[in-house]
Chains A and B, each alone.
Chain A
Amino acid sequence: MNAHAPQAERPHVIRDAKGKRPQFYEAPGLDQAMSMIMVLANELAVLHDRLDSAERVHAAKGLDLAAEIEALQLDQAALEAREAWRQDFLGRLFYLARKDASEAAAADTAERFRATIEDIAKT
């Protein structure tokens, strides 16, 4: 997409199809969650293909990238960088657990949230 031209000014594709989308799941939010999961699956496949392409291009040029990857020895710095990334990634996956724990620690409740809103609204 051309980031410089405002959407309305350049020929562009239409994004959404007309016609009410059916709801498939009873649990609220699950339709959105499933579509999000499939978009993620799609991106994972794209990344996989790109790396596969990188290995094939290297092979065509005479470098066995896959074998080099297998033979790669990670030094301490690399081990630390990777572990840090994994822990951060897990933290992001479980961010709502983190939030839930901190609310419990502060004895925070939905009632307190409502009360805060009412209080701030007072003139």
Chain B
Amino acid sequence: MSAEMLNTFQQIDHPILPKPTHDEASRQEFTKSFKQFIQQGLLPGLGPVFGVRAAKAFEREHGRAPADRRDIRAAMVKDLYFQHYAAANRIAQELLWESTNVTIDRELPDLIEKARGLSASAKGKLDLPEAFETPRYVTSIDIHCMPGGYAGAVTPDDISTGALYDRGVYLYAMGYMGPFNDDMGRSVCNYVNRRLDGFKPKRILDLGCTVGHSTLPYKELFPDAEVWGVDVAAPQVRYAHARAAGLGLEVNFAQMNAEETRFEDGSFDLIVSHILLHETSGKAMPRIFNECHRLLAPGGYMIHADLPPFDNMDPFTQFILDNETWYNNEPFWGAMRETDQVALAKAAGFPPESVKFDTAPMAIMEFVAQQAAGYSEDASAAVSDREFAAGEYAPGGGWEVLIARKA
């Protein structure tokens, strides 16, 4: 990535998005800049520090070179350069949530009322069951250090953690997901339109939809389809419904678990997920694949967009990606990347020849064409055209998709 790239990407306002004051916006922008600096300024130094210093120290201590990502981690955690890199990442994470929360706290309780009003006006359904058990893999640790996690609620009908995600994830992704955080959904929609021989889905399900940022592009790009987003966390689902209403897109939302939804057999022809799988668990992942197979009509597609698995990566690359597991409250991250997803899809009943990994390129240049604020040609092209570099957001400028088709 060019050292001169100036990230000026800005999020676009919408009715339920928290509205920062001048100083709050400045505080939030700093956290985005800090993350960009870490990626551009500190990350490149890890390789040389490892090769020239940490690996040699490891060899002196153990009498052999570091062999895998665990060895590399053991070597690097002793090096001050890595300590600075890892601490900076964690601090940036903490500051970005905190700077966003300041705005939300100021807007409470009115923000909750606003969400209620938007939802009341929406055509899309909102299905929140009376009793619902949020799985432990979501509630035991606050994933990616988001205070309260996805499901945290302080008051009935709370949407605070939904608002926190909508703004916070924009900062986390440094704007690479586009002004509406919808690049992942948009990229998969583009993939469906360009690579599946004219397949036109009629009923689409987005699993683990959080605030619906990846879900909405499906309604925009397949306007005749019925679109559903489901998530286990009530504040996310409520916020998602209000958010879609504010953006004028008829999308249905429900609090459901992707392992076991309340939909009927064969009732969808396209089931998608976006960076969901690495936030589930070893037990949940096969169940999600099985549920996808059950829910798909014959000829329907399952597409899971996430980061690539470990198998084709060198140990140093794996080590960098694995930092998320240890330092960013992502307990399933590393283990997920070692899971054989192709095997899971086959075990779920998908024909082996239909299961594969592919790449869905990021849609960031489209935001340039739309003249979205801050999406300069230079900055966007720098994001779009990249060699794979671990530790960067969405390395290589594309999303890895696991795709399978029901017979």
User: What residues of chain A have their CB less than 8 Å away from a CB belonging to chain B?
Assistant: 1, 10-19, 21-22, 24-26, 31, 34-35, 38-39, 41-43, 45-46, 49-50, 53
Assess whether A19 is in contact with B141, with CB atoms less than 8 Å apart. yes
Please classify the interface of chain A as helix (H, G, I), strand (E, B), loop, or mixed, using the class held by over half of its residues.
loop
Chain A residues near B23 (CB, 8 Å)?
46, 49-50
Closest 9 CB pairs of A and B: A14-B148, A17-B142, A24-B87, A19-B141, A49-B26, A11-B108, A13-B101, A17-B145, A11-B109
Chain A residues near B202 (CB, 8 Å)?
none
14 contacts between A and B (CB under 8 A): A10-B108, A13-B101, A13-B164, A14-B147, A14-B152, A14-B154, A17-B145, A19-B141, A31-B87, A38-B88, A38-B92, A38-B95, A42-B30, A50-B23
How many chain B residues have a CB neighbour from A under 8 Å?
48
Shortest distance between the CB of A23 and any CB in chain B (Å): 9
Chain B residues near A43 (CB, 8 Å)?
27
Given A11-B108, A13-B147, residue A42 in contact with residue B87 (CB < 8 A): no
Nearest B-chain residue to A8, judged by Cβ: B154
Shortest distance between the CB of B32 and any CB in chain A (Å): 11
Assess whether B101 is in contact with A34, with CB atoms less than 8 Å apart. no
Given A1-B105, A13-B108, A38-B95, residue A25 in contact with residue B160 (CB < 8 A): no
Chain B residues near A25 (CB, 8 Å)?
80, 83, 87
Assess whether B97 is in contact with A17, with CB atoms less than 8 Å apart. yes
Q: Is the CB of B34 closer than 8 A to any CB of chain A? A: yes
Give per-residue flags for B98-112: 1 if the beta carbon is below 8 A from chain A beta carbons, else 0. 110100111011001
What is the bound-complex CA distance between A11 and B140, given in angstroms?
Answer: 22
Given A18-B141, A19-B141, A53-B22, residue A10 in contact with residue B109 (CB < 8 A): yes
Contact residues of B between 102 and 134, Cβ < 8 Å to A: 104-106, 108-109, 112
Nearest B-chain residue to A14, judged by Cβ: B148
Assess whether A24 is in contact with B145, with CB atoms less than 8 Å apart. no
Nearest A-chain residue to B164, judged by Cβ: A13
Assess whether A50 is in contact with B22, with CB atoms less than 8 Å apart. yes
Assess whether B26 is in contact with A24, with CB atoms less than 8 Å apart. no
What is the bound-complex CA distance between A41 and B152, given in angstroms?
Answer: 30
Q: Is the CB of B318 closer than 8 A to any CB of chain A? A: no
Assess whether B105 is in contact with A12, with CB atoms less than 8 Å apart. yes
What is the bound-complex CA distance between A53 and B23, given in angstroms?
Answer: 10
Chain B residues near A22 (CB, 8 Å)?
86, 90, 326-327
Given A11-B154, A17-B142, A19-B145, residue A45 in contact with residue B95 (CB < 8 A): no
Nearest A-chain residue to B331, judged by Cβ: A19
Which of A1, A14, A19, A41 lies in contact with B161, CB distance below 8 A? A14
